[in-house]
Amino acid sequence: MVLNRFRPLFFLFLCIPAIVLGQVRSVLTLKKNWKFHNGQDSMAYKMAFDDSKWQSVTIPHDWAIYGPFDKEIDKQVVAIEQNNETVATEKTGRTGALPYVGQGWYRNKFRIPQYKKGQKVILLFEGAMSEPKVYVNGNKVGEWGYGYSYFHFDITEKVLADKLNTIAVQLTNVESSSRWYPGAGLYRNVRVIVKNNESIDLWGTYITTPFISPEMAKVNIKTKASGDGVHLVTRIIDAAGDTLSTDITHLKFGNEFDQNIAVPDPKLWSPESPYLYTAVSQLFVGDELKDEVTTRFGIRDIKYNSKTGFSLNGKTRKFKGVCLHHDLGPLGAAVNRSALKRQLRILKDMGCDAIRSSHNMPSLEQLELCDEMGFMFLAESFDEWAKPKVENGYNRFFEEYAEKDIVNLVRATRNHPSIVMWSTGNEVPDQYGLIGVKRAKWIQDIFHREDPTRPVTVGMDQVQNSMESGFGAILDIPGLNYRLPLYEEAYEKFPQGFILGSETASTVSSRGIYKFPVVEAKMKQYKDYQSSSYDLETCSWSNIPDDDFVWQDDKSWVIGEFVWTGFDYLGEPTPYDEKWPSRSSYFGINDLAGLPKDRYYLYRSRWNTEEETLHILPHWNWEGREGENTPVFVYTSYDSAELFINGKSMGVRKKHSGTAKNRYRLMWMDVQYEPGSLKVVAFDGQGKVAAEKEMVTAGKPYRIILDPDRTELNADGEDLAFVTVSVVDKHGILCPTATNQLKFKVKGEGKYRAACNGDPTSLEMFHHPTMKLFSGKLVVLVTTTEKAGSIELSVTGKGLKSAKIGLSSKKPL
């Protein structure tokens, strides 16, 4: 479940004659007043240590995102097995070329005035990168191995009542510990939980919906609690805040209550209708309230079988999913709710309905948003098991921590209706040999023990081997990463009766960059270290999106796909792993700034069935290419369209069953470039004009325009506005090749936070208030202060008409 939300009791139950309002649990989120130092101070955990000269930061925090980029950082000499490499070569930007390697210290002082002797105090970390060692008041209270795991310590014996308590956290990131940018620091929330001895365990509430009918749903709630003579009162509340059902139980089996509560006329959770209920669990001793935990959940039914594949609430459907790494582009690994929400809004418009957390535990904020906005979720655990991919990866921790990490993952998140399956790992080298089969079963059994309601998968790249060894046969869901030529054979040999495209496509492109001639190519490289946005370039192991579309559309036993990736991410700059500067990926459907690439509209034309899609590429500014062959593609939800250049028809194209590309794209391969107007007219099924779109050659850059994703923000010091900055000519036409250097300034109750242009070769730092445009655009991030008021962003550039935009913030409810 998510971190439970806690509140005091302000109501009375009619069925209980009197309630004593005892002290219930409190949660202190340690966001402010942290001190940070990058260094090796061995005494930094001591209470008397002088941290006055350390940097003041707020949590979540990623120390490495502030740079600079440096090719010498974590330079790995390695042969990447997943890329079919056999000879080790120097990889410079593999982990983003940002200074995450090293040691960092965080210190904070806090009071817990609610704390009384006899209570418990829990210190909860939702992620710490990495290998944290934690001290309270100079005493070591624990350590952990995995930087992505949620973990907690009981610090009751170490805290002081009504006095300042000092917490110190030592984090260590070593070289060759990751295959992408992992971030550095306390990048997710840290919380102090104070509760009574008679209390509900942390992550102790487990909600399932074992029976659902149109008239009634059975909600089973298992609640682990401590204390003698306690009883549990549970209410279920609908989205409007009305109480639907109440159950009181005094019966405890060991330390667990087990309640079955009826919900009449249940509203089912789905991506199309993400309806959420709330369970309020209250623990009493006599009439005295001792603890209260609030848990959101959804009522929904998932099934996987050989006849229907995957079904949600009785309806067969296929996953239209993307893989996401945890970094948020210019924010780095530091989790931010508004940035995550923006990502999901962009994906929702594309028609995406599922997310895979690649290749580690997701943030709790991401899961909350997927519950609210309607995304199914494949929650992944590891990128490695016992056999290494990188020298200092998770293999160092597997034997000691794997079970603990899985238990924490499942118990912390299993009440999220968005999660529809678990993943034990991604392309683990343990796919080879019988010992890997045993490990796969051992890990899957842990998931089953902790949550019998969801199936388990793993992303397999060694498909041939997994068919021979039995590795893939023991999984609930066989997940295939690429390997389209083996789909048929895998379907025949695996006993499950279906397969999942757990990682698909790996097409590479740079937003707004087009290369000629236009041909399909693998591992294609150019002098500018960019990839063509004609969406025909892939990696040695992968394929264009259209090839996956064919399998999804033609084979009922292929239950969906998770595309690599929804957004570009820092690190892993294939096909330029050995080139500098190249420090972020090209795989994204959207670039690192969150701006859609052309490929976005190819997926949207197939996935978004509610709205029309009509998109033309490339841009039409090709000075010096007059008379040269410049193919035009159209991505559209319509089956046919006619192309016009300066009013002259280039003919009608219709989707047909020739090549995979012909089924999903409209292509005019023999167009000769001439400046002017490029227009497409789309036709419906009856041959009538349904939509049209025009692109016009732009003149010289003239002025700046600003387009915010929203203008009203929360004055909480964390909320963000993402402002798209573009340059247009005198007629307001986008200049698609503009690379002007721009400057940014924020006034009022806001601050400049970062900028990003989506260029994977840029070495400009995100937090500096200046950046070059890339393909005519970039994005500026403006954050709020904690004071409500007006905010003004101004953007200037040499020789350009400047622009200003007003935003406002108000105190959150």
pLDDT digits (tens, 9 = 90+) for 593-645: 999 999 999 999 999 999 999 999 999 999 999 999 999 999 999 999 999 99
Give the pair of three-digit tokens for residue 649.
């028809």
With 70 as the cut, is the pLDDT of residue 9 above it? no
Q: What is the pLDDT of residue 17?
A: 37
3-state secondary structure of 246: strand
Classify the phi-psi angles of 374: left when phi > 0, otherwise alpha if psi is within -120 to 50, otherwise beta: left
CA 509 to chain centre: 20
Q: What is the mean pLDDT of residues 659-681?
A: 97
Cis peptide before 68 (omega within 30 of 0): yes
Say which residues have a Cβ less than 8 Å from residue 658's Cβ, sequence separation at least 6: none
Instruction: Please give the Cα distance from 145 to 171 (Å, whole number).
Output: 10
**pLDDT tier for residue 19 given thresholds of 50, 70 and 90:** low
Mention every residue, 6+ apart, whose C-beta is less than 8 A from residue 239: 267, 275, 276, 277
d(CA 482, CA 115): 54
- List alpha helices for 543-686, DSSP H: 545-554, 598-607, 660-664
Quick one: DSSP state of residue 430?
G
Pairing of strands 703-708, 689-696: unpaired
Q: Which amino acid is at 284?
A: F
What torsion, rounded to 10 degrees, do the Cα atoms 621, 623, 627, 630 define?
-40
Rounded to whole angstroms, how far apart are CA atoms 586 and 318? 26
Tokens of 625: 């290419």
714-723 pLDDT, tens digit each: 999 999 999 9
| Exposed/middle/buried for residue 808 (C-beta within 10 Å: 0-12, 13-18, 19+) | middle
Please compute the mean of the pLDDT values over residues 556-571 and round it to a whole number. Answer: 98
Whether 83 shows a pLDDT value over 80: the answer reads no
According to DSSP, the residues that pair with 771 across neighbouring strands are: 742
Strand 640-645, strand 803-810: pairing: unpaired
Could you list the active site residues?
A: 427, 503
> What residues contact residue 450 under an 8 Å CB cut-off, 6+ apart?
406, 407, 410, 411, 414
> Which two tokens mark 55?
């940097």
Domains and CATH numbers, the chain: 31-196 (2.60.120.260), 203-297 (2.60.40.10), 306-506+541-569 (3.20.20.80), 703-810 (2.60.40.10)
In the predicted model, is pLDDT for residue 343 greater than 50? yes
Convert the pLDDT of each residue in 33-72 to its tens digit. Answer: 999 999 888 889 998 899 999 999 999 999 999 999 999 9
| Tens-digit pLDDT profile for residues 165-182 | 999 999 999 999 999 999
Least-confidence region, from 83-87, 365-369, 657-661: 83-87
User: Does 467 have pLDDT greater than 50?
Assistant: yes
Label residue 80 by pLDDT band (50, 70, 90): confident
Contact between 299 and 268 (Cβ < 8 Å): yes
Q: How far apart are the first and last CA of the chain?
A: 24
Longest dimension (CA), the chain: 88
Give CA 490 to chain center in angstroms.
Answer: 29
CA distances from 5 to 29, 718, 731 (A): 12, 19, 52
DSSP-assigned states of every residue in 713-752: EESSS--EEEEEEEEE-TTS-B-TT---EEEEEEEESEEE
Residue 96, pLDDT above cutoff 70: yes
User: Pairing state of beta strands 230-237 and 277-285?
Assistant: antiparallel
What is the value of pTM for the model shown? 0.96
Is 70 exceeded by the pLDDT of residue 328? yes
- Report the sign of the C-alpha dihedral through residues 679, 685, 688, 691, in that order: negative
pLDDT in tens, 505-546: 999 999 999 999 999 999 999 999 999 999 999 999 999 999
Place of tokens 């190519």: 521
- Whether the pLDDT of residue 588 is over 80: the answer is yes
The pLDDT assigned to 399 comes to 97
Instruction: Identify which has the larger pLDDT, 465 or 83.
Output: 465
Q: Which is it for the CA torsion 759, 764, 767, 769, positive or negative?
A: negative
pLDDT of 348-370, one tens digit each? Answer: 999 999 999 999 999 999 999 99
Order across the sheet with 199-212: list the strands.
Answer: 199-212, 216-226, 256-264
For 124, the token pair is: 């909860």
Interval 219-237: pLDDT, tens: 999 999 999 999 999 999 9
Check residue 2 and report its DSSP letter: P
